[in-house]
Structure 1
């Protein structure tokens, strides 16, 4: 029977996909697909009535076409290797959830960060699951770099025995969205691997699609060994929050309302910067953290921007609109204020918005060959720019809400030790304000905290554990910390922690900002710690106080001999702050010091630093 819109529940595109696929399936493939769809239905993955239904159906079709799972033989291995590449800990957390779920269903799991896995062992792996975030401009995270380079080198082996699947985490506001995961997926196929299930690319709101990927992977693994999901333990659910049991009831998906205890401007009078020191109460939350962890804040959009957007579109502020897939509704103004992102434009948003506009200019912006022009337009503009520049618009406020992504949390390095400040968490947040395209702009969370949050108010927060930025296990180990501006925040936590522990290891801080008089963040803290011996050395660089700008990397080069001696003594090096400029320059300075003071070639110095990274002696928290 040929499927049509009139004789099936499918739309035209879905029917076309199925009509092309179904005649090509073998009897075994048809049987497998029936069981697969039945299992998916039992876990409610396909039961949600949402716009992504077409994408889900296409993914199932693609999964059958690409992986030919039905051609696998009975008795497939129950051994599964899970490798993660994670900068801030999200992929590591998801990998742990996946590992626990597979073990509950009788699989034998090997779980490892990519830099802890011997690449040559890939030839022995039959089932491989990759979870990878994308960092910077399409780059792999630090703990995935060596594995990524190996896999894309000529040394990578043929993997004809391999079954794999990839989960990618990223941010659609970046040009190279989920590029690392895409690269892993492509390369494993080139090396002969076959997909267990299609790659899933997740935006910032990753919990639900990641949960669905876990379900698809579990179903495919069970199908390979001819074991149904129900026989392995029944429906497992698609929500990551159901698979992750936390000591605290509060998490990323269930944030805690933390009372603001203090909100202080750290910059002196006359500074052109505003940096806020926030102290929040964790009392009653049971939330705990370690130095190096981050705090996520769910902010509010600017009320002025929300009101301007509603006025420009002629909407009604009190109209009820959905704020989640469960159908919960709020007023339009509240939804735009607290639930949806309106300050960032992405290509997927523009593509969907074009369907609500007849403006020829917007349609033309999406034509082939104008990618650079589109990229330029997206930079620094927001939803108000879009709706005013490409009117008229059709559709309701609900139609527009449907194309917006959720307002993501903002992550900030924690600036305090839990041991030193029980039931509190401290943050260092610099207010972002700038002019672009004829309008004043501001950072969503930073200006929310600086202008609209006072002691007694509350913020929606959660703890983001970061296992990749941690103090040495041995408190006697020397540490070197490089953190200009707000990048100094985690090092305040490091030193508070070491003070509480009575650690004997030497400590050295490199700090920089613009002006000594107005921009020396936490100056009295550092002076006290120097006096008490908690901080042994402090080198500062204030770039605007001298005719020639001086930055932290210049101070490092000036102290190259002593810094090299600390490295020889086993010191751990930490960098926190801007990746694009500062972190790159600091890393180059370290390489130069290894060359000049250690007599190494450039390649050997780079390899030395890479080896420090493998040993977790060189760690970065960059953004």
Structure 2
């Protein structure tokens, strides 16, 4: 006969112990009973004795309760932790006042709406073992005092951050909360980002700073996390206050290209003066649905498009609301009691961001937008509106967002600009600013598919090169069979020039594709300059990226 298992022995042991205790109590009662005569105790016990007896009973009850609680706690700790899906994105917060926790909850909800498995956690709950098993994580962290981590995160800082870990399998992003009135703005967010990079974690996108709950920075964060899901994005947490602009001009820059069509667009304010902006800033666009799609759904639900409804504190036609919103399912739309009920069931479409390719001196906001298509052939939300549905003269909802992390350096500083595809937009604005300032130490490395079709703004770039305002122009067209297939290969081939320019104080600005180009360019920079040197450039603001 086999011996009982360990779990069986653990379950039998308490029963044996309880039986022994009961036997001991019975023996004590029998012995104490023999000390009394038959008449028993005739007088009532004193108040003091009654209180002592009650205290003893309560103490015993408390002891029993404590033992039961500890036993249950051991049972709970012995149970295996709920299994976290391997592809889950961890949303981790480090909060002092609760705001970071609130934003982490909003982030998790947006990801779940996009069909992503999510695991929530506080930073102090992570250790080296758990970190090693995470493949994707979003950190929402605040800074308190003069650059200190939040109090709950101190344990992580003291226990985990001094360790030498390998986080090669971790992709991450950091939302850093802070206040620019303090000298060490978003210091803990930067400290965490630096630590993750040094342990070989790979950024999903660059750190985003939030100054005093700045809604534009939060929309930028939401824009990025929206791209991690299946496209079913949640409405903006804080919808931008758009201005009314008009589409003045649109031209296809690459007819015949094997890639998607790319358009140069010019937008101007519908009324009033042109606002100011700086090279590197972003245009936030409020997209609209195709008019035909709105008319079709109104027909199917039998609702009048000209019915007046109140939406976002403004009275407007129902059709206009439907053009700018995400709709509930058709059954819900059909059963809405009236036009106002239908409008109330709609949520605003999320904004889209585009690098501005011009300066105010150019007379309008210039964009370089590629028409994107989903797997089912439906145009992308923002690019479909700008490149197909909107017509010259149509109203465009637009807001300019400052992007100080990508603002230009001093004109006397040499500038290396690296980008691919429509990422040329942000670099073009910088080059125009440099030309305007008479700064000629400029080096552009640009990559696309075919020179004959995809050399965006090629005449302008070649003219700058000819008149000495663009000192070097290195091109990489991947489908032309050229020596350097991609822009990172063109950079690698210019290793000596890169080191020379960096030694002369040059800055490096990268704009374009986050998936592919940006990490490959960084890998080349690290191989040629060393990871520590690249970290120093980043810390000094000499290595900046606007990637998407």
TM-score, shorter chain, exceeding 0.5:
yes
Distance change (3 Å), C-alpha of 1:286 and 1:426: closer
C-alpha distance in structure 2 between counterparts of 1:68 and 1:615, whole Å: 30
Q: Secondary structure at the match of 2:399?
A: strand
Deviation at 1:545, TM superposition (A): 1.6
Q: 1:340 aligns with which of 325, 330, 337?
A: 325
Deviation at 1:67, TM superposition (A): 9.6
Q: Secondary structure at the match of 1:140?
A: strand
CA contact (8 A) 2:143 2:150 kept: no
**Aligned residue runs from structure 1 range 341-356, under 5 A:** 341=326
Match of 2:133 in 1: none
Deviation at 1:404, TM superposition (A): 3.5
Deviation at 1:413, TM superposition (A): 1.0
- Could you give the per-residue CA deviations for residues 14-52 of structure 1, whole angstroms, max 9, x where no partner exists? xxxxxxxxxxxxxxxxxxxxxxxxxxxxxxxxxxxxxxx
C-alpha distance in structure 1 between counterparts of 2:458 and 2:432, whole Å: 14
Distance change (3 Å), C-alpha of 1:331 and 1:607: same
Match of 2:419 in 1: 483
Q: TM-score, normalized by length of structure 2?
A: 0.58
Deviation at 1:547, TM superposition (A): 8.5
Q: Secondary structure at the match of 1:317?
A: coil
C-alpha distance in structure 2 between counterparts of 1:487 and 1:115, whole Å: 32
Distance change (3 Å), C-alpha of 1:489 and 1:117: farther
Distance change (3 Å), C-alpha of 1:428 and 1:574: same
CA contact (8 A) 2:274 2:364 kept: no
Distance change (3 Å), C-alpha of 1:173 and 1:305: farther
**Unaligned residue ranges in structure 1 (runs of 5+):** 1-65, 70-83, 85-112, 124-135, 154-164, 179-201, 209-251, 343-352, 354-385, 595-604
C-alpha distance in structure 1 between counterparts of 2:238 and 2:351, whole Å: 13
C-alpha distance in structure 1 between counterparts of 2:468 and 2:356, whole Å: 23
Q: 2:248 aligns with which of 261, 281, 284?
A: 261
Match of 2:174 in 1: 140
C-alpha distance in structure 2 between counterparts of 1:607 and 1:117, whole Å: 28
Distance change (3 Å), C-alpha of 1:315 and 1:606: farther
C-alpha distance in structure 2 between counterparts of 1:174 and 1:391, whole Å: 28
CA contact (8 A) 2:476 2:482 kept: no
Q: 1:432 aligns with which of 369, 372, 392?
A: 372
Distance change (3 Å), C-alpha of 1:541 and 1:173: closer
Deviation at 1:340, TM superposition (A): 0.9
Q: 1:545 aligns with which of 454, 458, 480?
A: 480
**Aligned residue runs from structure 1 range 602-621, under 5 A:** 605-621=530-546
Q: TM-score, normalized by length of structure 1?
A: 0.51
Q: 2:438 aligns with which of 486, 495, 502?
A: 502
Tell me the C-alpha RMSD between the 2 structures.
4.3
Distance change (3 Å), C-alpha of 1:581 and 1:270: closer
Q: How many residues align?
A: 368
Q: 1:448 aligns with which of 364, 385, 395?
A: 385
**Unaligned residue ranges in structure 2 (runs of 5+):** 1-94, 104-140, 152-169, 177-185, 198-211
**Aligned residue runs from structure 1 range 64-463, under 5 A:** 119=147, 139-140=173-174, 145-149=189-193, 170-171=221-222, 174=225, 205-207=236-238, 252-255=240-243, 257-269=244-256, 271-282=258-269, 284-324=272-312, 326=313, 328-337=314-323, 339-341=324-326, 387=330, 395-396=336-337, 401-419=343-361, 421=362, 423-436=363-376, 440-463=377-400
- Could you give the per-residue CA deviations for residues 74-110 of structure 1, whole angstroms, max 9, x where no partner exists? xxxxxxxxxx9xxxxxxxxxxxxxxxxxxxxxxxxxx
C-alpha distance in structure 1 between counterparts of 2:356 and 2:223, whole Å: 26
